[in-house]
Structures are given as C-alpha cells and as structure tokens.
Amino acid sequence: MRIDYWLADAQTGILREPIDLGRASWSLTVGDSSLSTIKNRQVGKDEVKDVDVPWSAIPGETQQDRWHAIEPQRRAIVAFARTSGDIRAGSIGTPFLYGVISGLSCDWTSVTITVSSVYSLLADRYCVPEGGYGEQRARGVLSWSGMTYRGIASEVGWQCTDAKPGGLLPVDWQYRGERHTRVGGEDATLHTRTYQAWNVANLSGKDILDKIAGLSDGPDMQWRPYLTADGTRVRTRFLAGSDTDPSLPQPAVPPYWSVMPRGGTLENVSVDWAMSYQRVYATGSGQDAETLTSLAEDMGMPGAVPGYVMRETSYSDTDADQYDALRSAALAQLTAQSRPIMQISGEYDLNDPGTPQLGSVWPGMRCVVDMQGHPCLPDGEYDMTLMEMSGDGGSRVKVLFDVATVPWYQGIR
C-alpha cells in the first residue's frame, strides 16, 4: 500500500497531474477527539498539514508554470490510497482526502503548501441570499422549516457554495429538501432555522454546521471524496447522520482490530482517563439579566456514598435565541461528560493482512476492538466509534476512538 497525491482544479475536482509530496502528514477526523474538551458531535475535518516540497517536485518548466500548477484558491490536492492490486492494474487508487491549496511560502529550495478542507473553507462563506445584503440595509432572509437537520445543513452548504457567483466546490449536497418526520409532542421549532442577513457575523457556513451538529440529537457530518465513473475528476459527497440515528452511515461489517500482549493488529495501545461534569451553565442571546439561559445537571454522582467530587462547566452560544435549541445544546454537553470517561488510541500497519484500508474505513464508523490481556481494561470486544485517523505518508496509521464510559464504573449506588 502507498499514498499518491494529485493536483486538481479546486472548483471542479478535475484531475491535472500527480505531485510527489513525499511523506506528508495527514489526518481525518469527525467530532472532537480530545479529552481536554467534550465528546461532542461536530463536523468532520480533513487536512494535509503544511507540506514542504522541493521545487523539483512541482510540475512545470518555468516559474510561471510552477505557480499555476499549485496556485492557491485555484488548485487542490487529492490523496489516493493505492493497494498492491491497484498498482498492478495501473489504477489510480481510492481517494480519501481532498483539500484546496490555500497558501504558499517559498524559498530558494522548496515551497511549503497549505491545504484547506471543504469544512474549513466554509468559515469564509456566509449563508446570506444573493441580493439580500444592500449598501445601507440587509433585509435578506433564508428560512427552512420541517426539514431534517442534515437537510437544513445541505441547504446551508448549497447556499454557501453553488448559489454564490464563483462559489462552486465539488460537493454533492445530497440531502437538500429532505423532510423531517415529527414525533408526538415534539417541538416544531427544533427543525426550523431562520438566518437573517443583518446577522452576517454569525452566519458563516462552518459556524452554522457546528451549531446544528452540536445539538443533543445533532448529526455527525463528513465530506468523503470519490472518483467519478469516467475517472477524470474527484468530487466529495456530504454525508450526515439522520434524525433517528445521528451517527454517520455504517457499513454492514464494522472495521475490526485485535489487541493482545504479543501480537494483534492494533499496536501501541494507550488509554486516557478523564473526570466527569455534573452541571452545565448555558447562555444564549441577550444582554445582561435578559440573557437566555439554561441549566443542565445530573447530581447523582456527588450524592453517592461515598460521593464523587462535583464539577461544573459553562457553555455559551450568543446566536441561540430559542430556549429549546439552547436547552438541547446544554443537554448535549452534559450527556457527553456526566460519567467517568476513557479514550483508547493506537496505531496499525496498512500492510498487515485484514486491516481496515484507507478509503474503506472512515472516522465516524462504529468499530470493534477485541481487547485481550491489556493491564487496565477487562477482556472483551469493545464497540467503539472511530474519531480520528492520521499518518505521515507511510503505511502506519494512528487511530483515536470516541470517549466511552469507564468499564469499571458501576453506576450510582
């Protein structure tokens, strides 16, 4: 297995020529995978970290040719995973990362390339209707009601890309128009979103998607690249969890790793532990004493005998002007961290037989980790969600799984 890189047109994904990036570091994530924060549903990120490339690796005979080959905002980089079978068949492989070249820094011998994912690019796009933002007044409004969360997210994404002059990106916003099925007693405002152009400072596409994903039942989101049928271009498919299952779509057979003292496919396994929180103070829009608030708490652990030390945290979303949405976000924060949690990480070799391969395993997938003989965890199969994958261009891949309740925790007694 090896990783190859291609240059492409940023707006269309049309492949241009290969480029040798050497052992470039890369990572794919879904959600927040750090124990210093919370187990929150957020939007998938993918990135190639700054890559230092010798000038000899840049296509082109002249300075102008080389500039146009890697021109920021105009060109993109696509990473392909190629198995030994792909190489024998002359196949380009399976794309697993797409990013727009967003910056260059060069000296006499090399150029450093910065690449931005679709998700990060949406920080510089605003969900404002064309013609709705005037010179003296901004009266434009975009509103969606009765739609699924991922349907609203797709509409926002489309408004921030295809609907803007020159805003095209190779993204399939596949859930546009998807309707939500209401359940008895449900608050209808939970699936209604209105964005007014005068509030543009809070309307970047990235911020809006983060807030939708951060709800207690908000969906995971991700962009997965794929090669078109004619093999000439790469597009990205926007994937998101549904209203009934906020996790990303899952394969029929989950990815599998084994862990054992002398062997196994997952190596260098480590387990990190963190304390829990029992109370979340959430604030929304408004000023001073009129600020919208919500308090989410679960005081069972401090009340146990013997009790656990109580911890509190705060959450703020100045754009939240509806109590139900703020309450949902507060409960999401509490649910994610109201019990003692742990997080497992490790690494594996793509060349080991039977290991999950790039392009077929993605962050957000539910996985099975068969743990045997680890000094601090009981033996057994752990159903976990893969949260992050990273590598440096070689065959070894680091993986980080979602936080989970400590298995030794026995509840409140």
pLDDT surpassing 60 at residue 42 = no
- Please give the distance of CA 320 from its chain centroid, rounded to a whole number: 22
The rounded mean pLDDT for the chain is 88
pLDDT surpassing 90 at residue 60 = yes
Q: Which of 274, 291, 271 is nearest to 282 (CA)?
A: 291
State the DSSP H helix or E strand holding residue 330, giving kind and residue range, or none if neither: helix 323-337
pLDDT of residue 239: 95
pLDDT of residue 33: 25
Q: Which of 47, 48, 28 is nearest to 387 (CA)?
A: 28
How far is residue 300 from each of residues 293, 297, 315, 328, measured CA to CA in Å? 22, 9, 21, 20
How many other β-carbons are positioned within 10 Å of the β-carbon of residue 220?
Answer: 24
314-328 confidence digits (pLDDT tens) = 999 887 888 988 998
pLDDT of residue 122: 95
pLDDT band at 50 (very low <50, low <70, confident <90, very high): low
CB burial string 36-57: b at 16+ within 10 A, e below: eebbbbbbbbbbbeebebeeee
> What are the backbone angles phi and psi of residue 19, rounded to the nearest 5°?
-140, 135
pLDDT of residue 45: 60
pLDDT band at 304 (very low <50, low <70, confident <90, very high): confident
Cβ neighbors of 149 (< 8 A, separation 6 or more) are 180, 191, 212, 215, 217, 218, 219, 240, 243
pLDDT surpassing 80 at residue 105 = yes
Share of the chain above pLDDT 90, in %: 64
pLDDT band at 36 (very low <50, low <70, confident <90, very high): very low
Highest mean pLDDT, choosing among 31-45, 78-92, 228-242 = 228-242
210-246 confidence digits (pLDDT tens) = 999 988 788 999 999 999 999 999 999 999 999 999 9
The span from the CA of 83 to the CA of 67, in Å, is 31
CA atoms within 13 A on the CB side of 76: 27
- Do residues 219 and 240 make contact, with C-beta atoms less than 8 angstroms apart? yes
161-188 confidence digits (pLDDT tens) = 999 999 999 999 999 999 998 777 777 6
pTM, two decimal places: 0.84
Residues in the chain: 413
